[in-house]
Amino acid sequence: MLDTRQADSVRAALAFSDAVDVYQRGQLDSARVAFGTALALAPDWAAAYYDRAIVRSALGERDGAAADFQQYLRLEPAASNRVAISTRIAELQEAPLSPTRALVLGLVIPGGGQFYTGRPLRGALSLAGAGLAIACGMSQRITMQPVQQTATDPFGNPYTYTVNRRVSERPCRAPGFTAAGVIAVVSAIDAFRFAQR
């Protein structure tokens, strides 16, 4: 006959096994509950804290995930992944990114959303692409066009003559500004989606 402590250990192992199964099927809420059940029965089980932290992190429960990772490190002070877990705890304790802010920054300044979300290379590429598109749109082409004009000589006789008039035009204005707008919108949406993760 099993005593109470042994029975709790068996039930905890079964709950842990169930938690792993439902996690592998993508049922994160059920996995979190099952890991919680295992921990209620075996509160010093480091692996269960670690696995529940993974599930909580995937669910966006940043504070709970950080607390579980901290408890894991308390129970496993010599853990080989201690540095990586400490880094993950620091990331979880930072303020989460705001998708709306990333979107607005990306729309106001092309690439601004990428800089905000910590991806400066993408931000620089977006900013450079939009800048080149605007520069193309602003480029001028100056041509000389002959223009016929009519005048009157001193004796009152009309005559025509040709003069060359300078004409300035921006043939790439619409495509250049359109390309800059598309780059800004696409990079803003990319930043928005990244911040939602």
What CATH number corresponds to the domain at position 23? 1.25.40.10
Same domain? For 59 and 126 the reply is no
Same domain? For 8 and 61 the reply is yes
Task: Please give the sequence-ordered ranges of beta strands (E in DSSP) within the chain, or none if there are none.
Answer: 141-152, 158-169
Same domain? For 64 and 142 the reply is no
Same domain? For 10 and 50 the reply is yes
Output the pLDDT for position 2. Answer: 52
Same domain? For 81 and 114 the reply is no
Domain boundary among 93, 113, 136: 93
Output the pLDDT for position 94. Answer: 81
Same domain? For 66 and 88 the reply is yes
Q: What is the pTM for the complete model shown?
A: 0.53
Instruction: Please count the other Cβ atoms lying within 10 Å of the Cβ belonging to residue 151.
Output: 9
* Residue 80 and residue 61 in contact, taking contact as beta carbons nearer than 8 Å: no
Same domain? For 106 and 183 the reply is yes
Q: Residue 165: beta bridge partners?
A: 145
Would you state the structure tokens that stand for residue 123, as one six-digit string?
């931000």
Domain boundary among 25, 58, 93: 93
Same domain? For 82 and 162 the reply is no
CA torsion through residues 176, 181, 182, 186, sign: positive
Same domain? For 112 and 81 the reply is no
Output the pLDDT for position 1. Answer: 45
Output the pLDDT for position 156. Answer: 86
User: Residue 115, exposed/middle/buried by CB under 10 A (0-12, 13-18, 19+)?
Assistant: buried
Residue range of the domain that includes 172: 99-196
Looking at the 3D structure of the chain, how many domains does it have?
A: 2
Same domain? For 185 and 112 the reply is yes
Output the pLDDT for position 155. Answer: 86
* Residue 125 and residue 187 in contact, taking contact as beta carbons nearer than 8 Å: no
Domain boundary among 71, 93, 115: 93
For residues 11 and 9, give the distance between their C-alpha atoms in angstroms, rounded to a whole number. Answer: 5
Same domain? For 67 and 9 the reply is yes
Same domain? For 135 and 184 the reply is yes
Would you state the structure tokens that stand for residue 21, as one six-digit string?
């199964």
For residues 88 and 62, give the distance between their C-alpha atoms in angstroms, rounded to a whole number. Answer: 10
For residues 68 and 51, give the distance between their C-alpha atoms in angstroms, rounded to a whole number. Answer: 9
pLDDT by 10s per residue, the chain, length 197: 456 777 778 888 888 999 899 999 999 999 999 999 999 989 999 999 999 999 999 888 888 999 999 999 999 998 899 999 999 998 888 877 888 888 998 999 999 999 888 889 999 999 999 999 999 888 888 888 888 888 888 888 898 888 888 888 888 888 889 999 999 999 999 999 988 87
